[in-house]
Structure 1
Amino acid sequence: MFDFTGKVAVVTGGGGVLCSAFSKALAAHGAKVAVLDLNFAAAQKVAEEIRGAGGVAQAVECNVLDRDSVLQAASKVREVLGVCDILINGAGGNHPRGTLPKEFFEPADLAQGETTFFDLDPEGFRFVFDLNLLGTVIPTQVFGKDMVRKGRGVIINIASMASFRAITRVPAYAAAKAAVANFTQWLAVYLGKTGVRVNAIAPGFFLTQQNYRLLVAEDGSLTPRAQKILAHTPMGRLGKPEELLGTLLWLCDDEASGFVTGAVIPVDGGFLAYAGV
Protein backbone atom coordinates (compact mmCIF):
# COMPACT_ATOMS: atom_id res chain seq x y z
CA MET A 1 0.00 0.00 0.00
CA PHE A 2 2.81 2.43 0.82
CA ASP A 3 5.58 3.11 -1.68
CA PHE A 4 8.33 5.63 -0.88
CA THR A 5 10.67 4.59 -3.67
CA GLY A 6 12.99 7.45 -4.61
CA LYS A 7 12.23 9.43 -1.47
CA VAL A 8 14.78 10.37 1.19
CA ALA A 9 13.75 9.98 4.82
CA VAL A 10 15.72 11.49 7.69
CA VAL A 11 15.14 10.02 11.15
CA THR A 12 16.70 11.79 14.12
CA GLY A 13 17.29 9.61 17.15
CA GLY A 14 17.34 6.78 14.64
CA GLY A 15 19.46 4.52 16.83
CA GLY A 16 16.78 4.24 19.55
CA VAL A 17 14.17 1.55 20.03
CA LEU A 18 11.21 3.33 18.43
CA CYS A 19 13.08 5.32 15.80
CA SER A 20 15.11 2.33 14.63
CA ALA A 21 11.76 0.64 13.92
CA PHE A 22 10.67 3.78 12.03
CA SER A 23 13.88 3.75 9.98
CA LYS A 24 13.53 0.07 9.06
CA ALA A 25 9.86 0.45 8.13
CA LEU A 26 10.51 3.40 5.82
CA ALA A 27 13.39 1.54 4.18
CA ALA A 28 11.27 -1.58 3.74
CA HIS A 29 8.81 0.56 1.77
CA GLY A 30 11.46 1.93 -0.57
CA ALA A 31 12.78 5.06 1.12
CA LYS A 32 16.47 5.87 1.28
CA VAL A 33 16.96 6.42 5.00
CA ALA A 34 19.43 8.66 6.82
CA VAL A 35 19.76 7.37 10.38
CA LEU A 36 20.84 10.34 12.51
CA ASP A 37 21.93 9.87 16.10
CA LEU A 38 24.35 11.34 18.61
CA ASN A 39 25.39 7.73 19.24
CA PHE A 40 27.03 6.97 15.90
CA ALA A 41 27.57 3.29 16.74
CA ALA A 42 23.84 2.85 17.33
CA ALA A 43 23.04 4.61 14.05
CA GLN A 44 25.55 2.43 12.21
CA LYS A 45 23.97 -0.73 13.59
CA VAL A 46 20.53 0.29 12.32
CA ALA A 47 21.87 1.33 8.91
CA GLU A 48 23.73 -1.97 8.56
CA GLU A 49 20.58 -3.91 9.40
CA ILE A 50 18.66 -1.96 6.75
CA ARG A 51 21.33 -2.61 4.13
CA GLY A 52 21.46 -6.27 5.15
CA ALA A 53 17.75 -6.51 4.38
CA GLY A 54 18.28 -4.99 0.92
CA GLY A 55 17.47 -1.39 1.74
CA VAL A 56 19.39 1.86 1.37
CA ALA A 57 20.60 3.63 4.49
CA GLN A 58 23.33 5.91 5.74
CA ALA A 59 24.32 6.46 9.36
CA VAL A 60 25.13 10.07 10.25
CA GLU A 61 26.38 11.36 13.60
CA CYS A 62 24.31 14.35 14.65
CA ASN A 63 23.63 16.45 17.74
CA VAL A 64 20.14 17.90 17.24
CA LEU A 65 20.86 20.68 19.75
CA ASP A 66 23.80 21.96 17.72
CA ARG A 67 22.76 23.79 14.55
CA ASP A 68 26.19 23.38 12.96
CA SER A 69 26.04 19.63 13.60
CA VAL A 70 22.61 19.43 11.96
CA LEU A 71 23.81 21.50 8.99
CA GLN A 72 26.77 19.14 8.54
CA ALA A 73 24.44 16.16 8.76
CA ALA A 74 22.14 17.67 6.14
CA SER A 75 25.09 18.24 3.83
CA LYS A 76 26.10 14.59 4.24
CA VAL A 77 22.56 13.40 3.55
CA ARG A 78 22.31 15.47 0.37
CA GLU A 79 25.69 14.20 -0.80
CA VAL A 80 24.97 10.50 -0.22
CA LEU A 81 21.19 10.10 -0.53
CA GLY A 82 19.70 13.33 -1.87
CA VAL A 83 17.40 16.06 -0.57
CA CYS A 84 15.14 15.19 2.34
CA ASP A 85 11.48 14.41 1.55
CA ILE A 86 10.42 13.01 4.94
CA LEU A 87 11.69 14.21 8.31
CA ILE A 88 10.98 12.21 11.46
CA ASN A 89 11.94 14.25 14.54
CA GLY A 90 12.49 11.32 16.86
CA ALA A 91 15.35 12.56 19.02
CA GLY A 92 14.23 13.34 22.55
CA GLY A 93 13.59 11.75 25.90
CA ASN A 94 13.91 12.35 29.60
CA HIS A 95 16.85 12.66 32.01
CA PRO A 96 17.18 12.01 35.76
CA ARG A 97 18.03 15.68 36.35
CA GLY A 98 14.53 16.60 35.18
CA THR A 99 12.77 13.84 37.15
CA LEU A 100 11.38 13.71 40.68
CA PRO A 101 11.39 10.66 42.97
CA LYS A 102 7.78 11.03 44.18
CA GLU A 103 4.44 11.63 42.50
CA PHE A 104 2.99 13.88 45.20
CA PHE A 105 4.46 16.57 47.42
CA GLU A 106 4.02 16.30 51.17
CA PRO A 107 5.07 19.09 53.58
CA ALA A 108 7.22 16.62 55.52
CA ASP A 109 9.40 16.18 52.42
CA LEU A 110 11.10 19.50 53.12
CA ALA A 111 12.13 18.53 56.63
CA GLN A 112 13.19 15.05 55.57
CA GLY A 113 15.47 16.31 52.81
CA GLU A 114 13.52 14.72 49.96
CA THR A 115 14.23 16.09 46.49
CA THR A 116 11.14 18.03 45.48
CA PHE A 117 10.07 20.30 42.65
CA PHE A 118 11.53 23.18 44.65
CA ASP A 119 15.00 21.61 44.40
CA LEU A 120 14.81 20.75 40.71
CA ASP A 121 17.99 21.71 38.88
CA PRO A 122 17.10 24.44 36.34
CA GLU A 123 19.90 23.24 34.07
CA GLY A 124 18.52 19.72 34.17
CA PHE A 125 15.05 21.02 33.38
CA ARG A 126 16.47 23.11 30.54
CA PHE A 127 18.35 20.14 29.07
CA VAL A 128 15.23 17.96 28.90
CA PHE A 129 13.11 20.81 27.53
CA ASP A 130 15.67 21.74 24.91
CA LEU A 131 16.32 18.14 23.86
CA ASN A 132 12.66 17.59 23.07
CA LEU A 133 11.61 21.00 21.76
CA LEU A 134 14.74 22.58 20.27
CA GLY A 135 15.79 19.09 19.19
CA THR A 136 12.67 19.20 17.03
CA VAL A 137 12.86 22.86 15.99
CA ILE A 138 16.48 22.89 14.76
CA PRO A 139 16.29 19.86 12.42
CA THR A 140 12.98 21.20 11.11
CA GLN A 141 14.60 24.54 10.27
CA VAL A 142 17.47 22.84 8.44
CA PHE A 143 15.68 20.06 6.56
CA GLY A 144 12.36 21.89 6.24
CA LYS A 145 13.94 24.67 4.19
CA ASP A 146 14.74 22.17 1.43
CA MET A 147 11.14 20.95 1.53
CA VAL A 148 9.58 24.38 1.07
CA ARG A 149 11.96 25.04 -1.80
CA LYS A 150 10.68 21.88 -3.51
CA GLY A 151 7.07 22.62 -2.63
CA ARG A 152 6.45 19.28 -0.93
CA GLY A 153 7.48 17.26 2.09
CA VAL A 154 6.38 15.57 5.28
CA ILE A 155 7.47 16.41 8.83
CA ILE A 156 6.47 14.11 11.67
CA ASN A 157 7.21 15.05 15.26
CA ILE A 158 7.06 12.72 18.23
CA ALA A 159 4.70 13.92 20.94
CA SER A 160 3.61 11.86 23.96
CA MET A 161 0.80 11.14 26.37
CA ALA A 162 2.49 13.92 28.34
CA SER A 163 1.43 16.29 25.56
CA PHE A 164 -2.16 15.85 26.76
CA ARG A 165 -1.84 14.85 30.41
CA ALA A 166 0.53 16.09 33.12
CA ILE A 167 2.40 12.82 33.74
CA THR A 168 3.71 12.68 37.32
CA ARG A 169 7.42 12.84 38.23
CA VAL A 170 8.55 14.19 34.82
CA PRO A 171 7.75 17.93 34.81
CA ALA A 172 10.40 18.91 32.29
CA TYR A 173 9.54 16.12 29.86
CA ALA A 174 5.79 16.76 30.16
CA ALA A 175 6.20 20.48 29.55
CA ALA A 176 8.47 19.84 26.56
CA LYS A 177 6.15 17.32 24.93
CA ALA A 178 3.19 19.64 25.39
CA ALA A 179 5.28 22.24 23.58
CA VAL A 180 6.08 19.78 20.77
CA ALA A 181 2.36 19.18 20.18
CA ASN A 182 1.66 22.92 20.10
CA PHE A 183 4.63 23.55 17.81
CA THR A 184 3.35 20.84 15.46
CA GLN A 185 0.03 22.64 15.10
CA TRP A 186 1.68 26.05 14.77
CA LEU A 187 4.07 24.88 12.06
CA ALA A 188 1.32 23.09 10.15
CA VAL A 189 -0.53 26.40 9.90
CA TYR A 190 2.58 28.38 9.04
CA LEU A 191 3.54 25.98 6.23
CA GLY A 192 -0.03 25.28 5.17
CA LYS A 193 0.34 26.85 1.72
CA THR A 194 3.77 25.37 0.90
CA GLY A 195 2.92 21.73 0.20
CA VAL A 196 4.69 20.62 3.38
CA ARG A 197 2.52 18.71 5.86
CA VAL A 198 3.34 18.67 9.58
CA ASN A 199 1.87 16.12 12.00
CA ALA A 200 2.83 14.30 15.18
CA ILE A 201 2.50 10.84 16.64
CA ALA A 202 1.77 10.65 20.37
CA PRO A 203 2.85 7.20 21.58
CA GLY A 204 1.34 5.75 24.69
CA PHE A 205 3.57 3.72 26.96
CA PHE A 206 6.22 1.65 25.19
CA LEU A 207 9.21 -0.09 26.71
CA THR A 208 12.43 1.68 25.68
CA GLN A 209 16.00 1.93 26.92
CA GLN A 210 15.24 5.18 28.74
CA ASN A 211 12.21 4.02 30.70
CA TYR A 212 13.16 0.36 31.22
CA ARG A 213 14.21 0.72 34.86
CA LEU A 214 11.14 2.84 35.63
CA LEU A 215 8.85 0.11 34.35
CA VAL A 216 10.69 -3.17 34.94
CA ALA A 217 12.15 -4.28 38.29
CA GLU A 218 15.47 -6.13 38.57
CA ASP A 219 13.63 -9.46 38.89
CA GLY A 220 11.81 -8.81 35.59
CA SER A 221 8.45 -7.99 37.16
CA LEU A 222 6.59 -4.77 36.44
CA THR A 223 7.17 -1.87 38.83
CA PRO A 224 4.24 -0.24 40.66
CA ARG A 225 4.45 2.64 38.13
CA ALA A 226 4.10 0.22 35.22
CA GLN A 227 1.19 -1.49 36.93
CA LYS A 228 -0.51 1.88 37.37
CA ILE A 229 -0.01 2.61 33.67
CA LEU A 230 -1.57 -0.70 32.68
CA ALA A 231 -4.49 -0.10 35.03
CA HIS A 232 -5.22 3.10 33.08
CA THR A 233 -4.70 1.54 29.63
CA PRO A 234 -7.91 -0.20 28.47
CA MET A 235 -5.94 -2.67 26.34
CA GLY A 236 -4.09 -3.69 29.50
CA ARG A 237 -0.55 -3.83 28.15
CA LEU A 238 2.40 -1.77 26.95
CA GLY A 239 2.71 -0.96 23.28
CA LYS A 240 5.04 -2.67 20.82
CA PRO A 241 7.22 -0.54 18.50
CA GLU A 242 5.71 -2.14 15.40
CA GLU A 243 2.29 -0.88 16.48
CA LEU A 244 3.38 2.67 15.66
CA LEU A 245 4.35 1.86 12.10
CA GLY A 246 0.92 1.92 10.49
CA THR A 247 0.33 5.46 11.72
CA LEU A 248 3.85 6.50 10.67
CA LEU A 249 3.50 5.16 7.13
CA TRP A 250 0.02 6.59 6.73
CA LEU A 251 1.17 10.07 7.76
CA CYS A 252 4.17 9.87 5.41
CA ASP A 253 2.07 8.88 2.40
CA ASP A 254 0.73 11.86 0.45
CA GLU A 255 -1.99 9.79 -1.22
CA ALA A 256 -3.23 8.25 2.02
CA SER A 257 -3.08 11.38 4.20
CA GLY A 258 -2.66 14.24 1.75
CA PHE A 259 -5.23 16.44 3.51
CA VAL A 260 -3.96 15.71 7.01
CA THR A 261 -1.83 18.37 8.65
CA GLY A 262 -1.64 19.76 12.17
CA ALA A 263 -2.83 16.47 13.68
CA VAL A 264 -1.41 14.84 16.82
CA ILE A 265 -2.34 11.16 16.60
CA PRO A 266 -2.45 9.09 19.82
CA VAL A 267 -1.31 5.48 19.56
CA ASP A 268 -1.92 4.55 23.17
CA GLY A 269 -4.11 1.51 23.73
CA GLY A 270 -6.94 3.79 24.81
CA PHE A 271 -5.01 5.59 27.59
CA LEU A 272 -6.31 9.05 26.69
CA ALA A 273 -9.88 7.87 26.32
CA TYR A 274 -10.04 6.31 29.79
CA ALA A 275 -11.10 8.51 32.70
CA GLY A 276 -10.18 5.88 35.29
CA VAL A 277 -13.79 4.97 36.16
Structure 2
Amino acid sequence: MNKKVVVLTGAGGVLCSTLAKALASKGHKIAVLDLKKDAADKVAGEINNAGGEALGVEANVLEKESLERAKNEINSKLGTCDILVNGAGGNHPLGTTSNPYLETKDLKNTTKGFKTFFDLDTEGIQFTFNLNFIGTLLPTQVFAQDMIAREGCSILNISSMNAFTPLTKIPAYSGAKAAVSNFTQWLAVHFSKVGIRVNALAPGFFLTEQNRTLLTEADGSLTARGNTIIDQTPMGRFGEPEDLISTTLWLCGDGASFVTGVVIPVDGGFSAFSGV
Protein backbone atom coordinates (compact mmCIF):
# COMPACT_ATOMS: atom_id res chain seq x y z
CA MET A 1 0.00 0.00 0.00
CA ASN A 2 1.44 3.38 -1.01
CA LYS A 3 1.79 5.89 1.84
CA LYS A 4 -1.31 8.08 2.04
CA VAL A 5 -3.12 10.65 4.15
CA VAL A 6 -5.98 8.93 5.95
CA VAL A 7 -8.82 10.83 7.63
CA LEU A 8 -10.91 8.94 10.18
CA THR A 9 -14.01 10.38 11.84
CA GLY A 10 -15.10 9.14 15.25
CA ALA A 11 -11.51 8.04 15.71
CA GLY A 12 -11.44 8.70 19.43
CA GLY A 13 -13.58 5.59 19.94
CA VAL A 14 -12.47 2.02 20.49
CA LEU A 15 -12.99 0.63 16.98
CA CYS A 16 -11.76 3.53 14.84
CA SER A 17 -8.80 4.29 17.08
CA THR A 18 -7.69 0.70 16.48
CA LEU A 19 -8.06 1.19 12.73
CA ALA A 20 -6.18 4.50 12.94
CA LYS A 21 -3.24 2.81 14.66
CA ALA A 22 -3.25 -0.07 12.18
CA LEU A 23 -3.16 2.30 9.22
CA ALA A 24 -0.45 4.34 10.89
CA SER A 25 1.64 1.19 11.33
CA LYS A 26 1.70 0.90 7.53
CA GLY A 27 3.32 4.32 7.27
CA HIS A 28 0.25 6.38 6.47
CA LYS A 29 -0.26 9.87 7.88
CA ILE A 30 -3.35 9.83 10.07
CA ALA A 31 -5.86 12.59 10.80
CA VAL A 32 -7.73 11.55 13.95
CA LEU A 33 -11.07 13.37 13.93
CA ASP A 34 -13.42 13.35 16.89
CA LEU A 35 -16.04 15.60 18.43
CA LYS A 36 -13.91 15.57 21.60
CA LYS A 37 -10.53 17.17 20.98
CA ASP A 38 -8.93 15.46 23.97
CA ALA A 39 -9.98 12.04 22.66
CA ALA A 40 -8.55 12.84 19.23
CA ASP A 41 -5.31 14.13 20.71
CA LYS A 42 -4.94 11.05 22.92
CA VAL A 43 -5.12 8.66 19.95
CA ALA A 44 -2.87 10.87 17.82
CA GLY A 45 -0.37 11.06 20.67
CA GLU A 46 -0.28 7.27 20.98
CA ILE A 47 0.38 6.97 17.26
CA ASN A 48 3.14 9.59 17.35
CA ASN A 49 4.74 7.99 20.42
CA ALA A 50 4.84 4.68 18.53
CA GLY A 51 6.78 6.30 15.70
CA GLY A 52 3.89 7.15 13.39
CA GLU A 53 2.60 10.48 12.16
CA ALA A 54 -0.81 11.65 13.32
CA LEU A 55 -2.77 14.80 13.99
CA GLY A 56 -5.68 15.12 16.42
CA VAL A 57 -8.44 17.33 15.05
CA GLU A 58 -11.74 18.41 16.59
CA ALA A 59 -14.62 18.04 14.14
CA ASN A 60 -18.40 17.76 14.28
CA VAL A 61 -19.58 15.46 11.49
CA LEU A 62 -22.99 17.18 11.54
CA GLU A 63 -21.57 20.64 10.81
CA LYS A 64 -20.06 21.24 7.38
CA GLU A 65 -18.22 24.37 8.55
CA SER A 66 -16.50 22.35 11.28
CA LEU A 67 -15.45 19.75 8.73
CA GLU A 68 -14.16 22.43 6.36
CA ARG A 69 -11.98 23.84 9.15
CA ALA A 70 -10.70 20.36 9.88
CA LYS A 71 -9.91 19.80 6.20
CA ASN A 72 -7.97 23.05 5.98
CA GLU A 73 -5.88 22.10 9.01
CA ILE A 74 -5.23 18.60 7.68
CA ASN A 75 -4.30 19.87 4.22
CA SER A 76 -1.81 22.34 5.68
CA LYS A 77 -0.21 19.95 8.19
CA LEU A 78 -0.48 16.49 6.61
CA GLY A 79 -1.42 16.98 2.98
CA THR A 80 -4.30 16.08 0.68
CA CYS A 81 -6.75 13.42 1.84
CA ASP A 82 -6.40 10.08 0.04
CA ILE A 83 -8.60 7.84 2.19
CA LEU A 84 -11.66 8.71 4.28
CA VAL A 85 -12.99 6.35 6.94
CA ASN A 86 -16.45 7.45 8.07
CA GLY A 87 -16.41 5.97 11.55
CA ALA A 88 -18.64 8.37 13.50
CA GLY A 89 -21.95 6.83 14.53
CA GLY A 90 -24.05 5.55 17.38
CA ASN A 91 -27.50 5.09 18.85
CA HIS A 92 -29.70 7.11 21.22
CA PRO A 93 -31.87 5.72 24.05
CA LEU A 94 -34.79 7.94 23.01
CA GLY A 95 -34.97 6.00 19.73
CA THR A 96 -35.00 2.61 21.45
CA THR A 97 -37.97 0.55 22.67
CA SER A 98 -37.86 -1.09 26.10
CA ASN A 99 -39.00 -4.50 24.86
CA PRO A 100 -38.28 -6.38 21.64
CA TYR A 101 -41.97 -7.14 21.03
CA LEU A 102 -45.09 -5.11 21.69
CA GLU A 103 -47.63 -6.75 23.96
CA THR A 104 -51.04 -5.35 24.86
CA LYS A 105 -50.07 -4.98 28.51
CA ASP A 106 -47.21 -2.67 27.52
CA LEU A 107 -49.70 0.05 26.61
CA LYS A 108 -50.62 0.33 30.29
CA ASN A 109 -47.05 0.22 31.62
CA THR A 110 -46.41 3.45 33.55
CA THR A 111 -42.87 2.61 34.68
CA LYS A 112 -40.63 5.66 34.35
CA GLY A 113 -38.55 5.42 31.19
CA PHE A 114 -40.53 2.53 29.71
CA LYS A 115 -40.98 3.03 25.96
CA THR A 116 -43.12 1.28 23.40
CA PHE A 117 -42.90 2.07 19.71
CA PHE A 118 -45.58 4.73 20.27
CA ASP A 119 -43.41 6.50 22.84
CA LEU A 120 -40.30 6.85 20.68
CA ASP A 121 -39.00 10.39 20.68
CA THR A 122 -38.70 12.19 17.35
CA GLU A 123 -35.56 14.00 18.47
CA GLY A 124 -33.89 10.72 19.47
CA ILE A 125 -34.73 9.16 16.12
CA GLN A 126 -33.50 12.22 14.21
CA PHE A 127 -30.30 12.35 16.25
CA THR A 128 -29.54 8.71 15.48
CA PHE A 129 -30.32 9.00 11.79
CA ASN A 130 -28.36 12.22 11.42
CA LEU A 131 -25.30 10.97 13.31
CA ASN A 132 -25.02 7.83 11.20
CA PHE A 133 -26.23 8.93 7.77
CA ILE A 134 -25.72 12.69 7.62
CA GLY A 135 -22.52 12.12 9.60
CA THR A 136 -21.33 9.99 6.70
CA LEU A 137 -22.63 12.23 3.91
CA LEU A 138 -21.14 15.55 5.10
CA PRO A 139 -17.55 14.32 5.64
CA THR A 140 -17.74 12.70 2.21
CA GLN A 141 -18.85 15.98 0.65
CA VAL A 142 -15.92 17.77 2.26
CA PHE A 143 -13.03 15.30 1.94
CA ALA A 144 -13.89 13.53 -1.33
CA GLN A 145 -13.16 16.79 -3.15
CA ASP A 146 -9.47 16.09 -2.43
CA MET A 147 -9.70 12.71 -4.15
CA ILE A 148 -11.21 13.48 -7.55
CA ALA A 149 -9.21 12.16 -10.51
CA ARG A 150 -6.33 10.97 -8.31
CA GLU A 151 -5.09 7.39 -8.13
CA GLY A 152 -5.58 5.12 -5.13
CA CYS A 153 -8.27 7.10 -3.34
CA SER A 154 -11.14 5.48 -1.50
CA ILE A 155 -13.85 5.88 1.10
CA LEU A 156 -14.72 3.32 3.77
CA ASN A 157 -18.07 3.65 5.52
CA ILE A 158 -19.16 1.80 8.65
CA SER A 159 -22.46 -0.02 8.29
CA SER A 160 -23.76 -2.73 10.64
CA MET A 161 -25.49 -6.09 10.97
CA ASN A 162 -28.64 -4.03 11.42
CA ALA A 163 -28.46 -3.04 7.78
CA PHE A 164 -29.04 -6.64 6.67
CA THR A 165 -31.75 -7.60 9.15
CA PRO A 166 -32.92 -5.07 11.76
CA LEU A 167 -32.35 -5.92 15.37
CA THR A 168 -35.20 -5.63 17.84
CA LYS A 169 -35.57 -2.49 19.99
CA ILE A 170 -33.44 -0.13 17.86
CA PRO A 171 -35.45 0.93 14.78
CA ALA A 172 -33.69 4.27 14.36
CA TYR A 173 -30.19 2.80 14.39
CA SER A 174 -31.20 -0.08 12.11
CA GLY A 175 -32.77 2.29 9.60
CA ALA A 176 -29.80 4.64 9.70
CA LYS A 177 -27.28 1.88 9.04
CA ALA A 178 -29.43 0.51 6.20
CA ALA A 179 -29.21 4.00 4.73
CA VAL A 180 -25.42 3.94 5.08
CA SER A 181 -25.23 0.66 3.14
CA ASN A 182 -27.49 2.01 0.41
CA PHE A 183 -25.50 5.25 0.28
CA THR A 184 -22.27 3.26 -0.04
CA GLN A 185 -23.59 1.59 -3.18
CA TRP A 186 -24.92 4.88 -4.56
CA LEU A 187 -21.62 6.66 -3.98
CA ALA A 188 -19.64 3.81 -5.52
CA VAL A 189 -21.56 4.26 -8.77
CA HIS A 190 -21.57 8.04 -8.61
CA PHE A 191 -17.79 8.30 -8.05
CA SER A 192 -16.84 5.47 -10.41
CA LYS A 193 -15.73 7.79 -13.22
CA VAL A 194 -13.48 9.98 -11.05
CA GLY A 195 -11.36 7.21 -9.52
CA ILE A 196 -12.86 7.01 -6.01
CA ARG A 197 -13.79 3.59 -4.66
CA VAL A 198 -16.45 3.41 -1.94
CA ASN A 199 -17.02 0.38 0.28
CA ALA A 200 -18.25 -0.40 3.78
CA LEU A 201 -17.61 -2.64 6.73
CA ALA A 202 -20.59 -4.23 8.48
CA PRO A 203 -19.26 -5.16 11.91
CA GLY A 204 -21.05 -7.79 13.92
CA PHE A 205 -21.10 -7.42 17.69
CA PHE A 206 -18.14 -5.73 19.31
CA LEU A 207 -18.09 -4.61 22.93
CA THR A 208 -17.77 -0.82 23.07
CA GLU A 209 -18.51 1.78 25.71
CA GLN A 210 -21.83 2.44 23.97
CA ASN A 211 -23.18 -1.10 24.21
CA ARG A 212 -21.26 -2.69 27.08
CA THR A 213 -24.04 -2.17 29.66
CA LEU A 214 -26.59 -3.64 27.25
CA LEU A 215 -24.60 -6.80 26.60
CA THR A 216 -22.76 -7.45 29.87
CA GLU A 217 -23.51 -7.24 33.58
CA ALA A 218 -21.31 -5.37 36.06
CA ASP A 219 -19.51 -8.64 36.88
CA GLY A 220 -18.72 -9.26 33.22
CA SER A 221 -21.33 -11.96 32.65
CA LEU A 222 -23.67 -11.66 29.70
CA THR A 223 -27.09 -10.05 29.83
CA ALA A 224 -30.02 -11.88 28.22
CA ARG A 225 -29.46 -9.85 25.04
CA GLY A 226 -25.75 -10.61 25.14
CA ASN A 227 -26.46 -14.32 25.42
CA THR A 228 -28.89 -14.17 22.50
CA ILE A 229 -26.23 -12.54 20.33
CA ILE A 230 -23.57 -15.09 21.21
CA ASP A 231 -26.06 -17.92 20.56
CA GLN A 232 -26.69 -16.45 17.09
CA THR A 233 -22.98 -16.01 16.33
CA PRO A 234 -21.52 -19.29 15.02
CA MET A 235 -18.00 -18.38 16.15
CA GLY A 236 -19.39 -17.98 19.67
CA ARG A 237 -17.79 -14.70 20.73
CA PHE A 238 -17.93 -10.94 20.39
CA GLY A 239 -15.59 -9.35 17.90
CA GLU A 240 -12.32 -7.75 18.97
CA PRO A 241 -11.38 -4.38 17.42
CA GLU A 242 -8.37 -6.08 15.81
CA ASP A 243 -10.74 -8.32 13.84
CA LEU A 244 -11.55 -5.31 11.64
CA ILE A 245 -7.98 -4.50 10.70
CA SER A 246 -7.23 -6.88 7.83
CA THR A 247 -10.48 -6.14 5.98
CA THR A 248 -9.91 -2.40 6.44
CA LEU A 249 -6.37 -2.58 5.09
CA TRP A 250 -7.58 -4.61 2.12
CA LEU A 251 -10.49 -2.32 1.20
CA CYS A 252 -8.35 0.80 1.60
CA GLY A 253 -5.39 -0.66 -0.26
CA ASP A 254 -4.34 -1.17 -3.84
CA GLY A 255 -5.16 -4.89 -3.61
CA ALA A 256 -8.85 -3.93 -3.76
CA SER A 257 -8.39 -1.68 -6.79
CA PHE A 258 -11.38 -3.26 -8.61
CA VAL A 259 -13.59 -3.54 -5.52
CA THR A 260 -16.25 -0.88 -5.04
CA GLY A 261 -19.82 -0.78 -3.80
CA VAL A 262 -19.55 -3.74 -1.42
CA VAL A 263 -20.57 -4.07 2.22
CA ILE A 264 -18.40 -6.68 3.94
CA PRO A 265 -19.71 -8.40 7.09
CA VAL A 266 -17.11 -8.93 9.81
CA ASP A 267 -19.41 -10.77 12.16
CA GLY A 268 -18.30 -14.26 13.13
CA GLY A 269 -20.96 -15.75 10.87
CA PHE A 270 -23.93 -13.90 12.43
CA SER A 271 -25.40 -12.83 9.09
CA ALA A 272 -25.10 -16.35 7.65
CA PHE A 273 -26.86 -18.14 10.52
CA SER A 274 -30.60 -18.83 10.34
CA GLY A 275 -30.81 -19.74 14.00
CA VAL A 276 -31.52 -23.40 13.21
Which TM-score band (shorter chain)? over 0.9
Kindly provide the amino acid, as one letter, of the partner of residue 107 in structure 2.
L
Give the C-alpha shift of residue 100 in structure 1. 1.5
Asked if 1:46 corresponds to 2:43, the answer is yes
User: TM (normalized to structure 2)?
Assistant: 0.97
Question: What percent of counterpart residues are identical?
Answer: 58
Of the candidates 14, 22, 25, which is equivalent to residue 25 of structure 1?
Answer: 22
**Which structure 2 residues correspond to residues 29-108 of structure 1 after superposition, within 5 A?**
29-108=26-105
What secondary structure sits across from 2:210 in the alignment?
coil
Asked if 1:150 corresponds to 2:147, the answer is no
CA distance in 2, matches of 1:74, 1:153: 16
For the structure 1 residues 257 and 149, does the alpha-carbon distance in structure 2 shift closer, same or farther, using more than 3 Å as the test? closer
Kindly provide the amino acid, as one letter, of the partner of residue 267 in structure 1.
V
Kindly provide the amino acid, as one letter, of the partner of residue 214 in structure 1.
L
Aligned residues: 273
Partner of 1:234: 234
Deviations 1:145-199 (A, max 9, x none): 1111535511000000001011111110000000000000000001111110000
Kindly provide the amino acid, as one letter, of the partner of residue 272 in structure 1.
S
Kindly provide the amino acid, as one letter, of the partner of residue 35 in structure 1.
V
Q: Which segments of structure 1 move beyond 3 Å, counting only runs of 4 or more?
A: 149-152
Q: Is the 8 A contact 2:9 2:88 kept in 1?
A: yes
**Which structure 2 residues correspond to residues 133-144 of structure 1 after superposition, within 5 A?**
133-144=133-144
Give the C-alpha shift of residue 216 in structure 1. 1.0
Q: Is the 8 A contact 1:152 1:194 kept in 2?
A: no
User: TM (normalized to structure 1)?
Assistant: 0.97
Kindly provide the amino acid, as one letter, of the partner of residue 20 in structure 1.
S
TM-align CA RMSD: 0.9
**Structure 1: gaps spanning 5 or more residues:** none
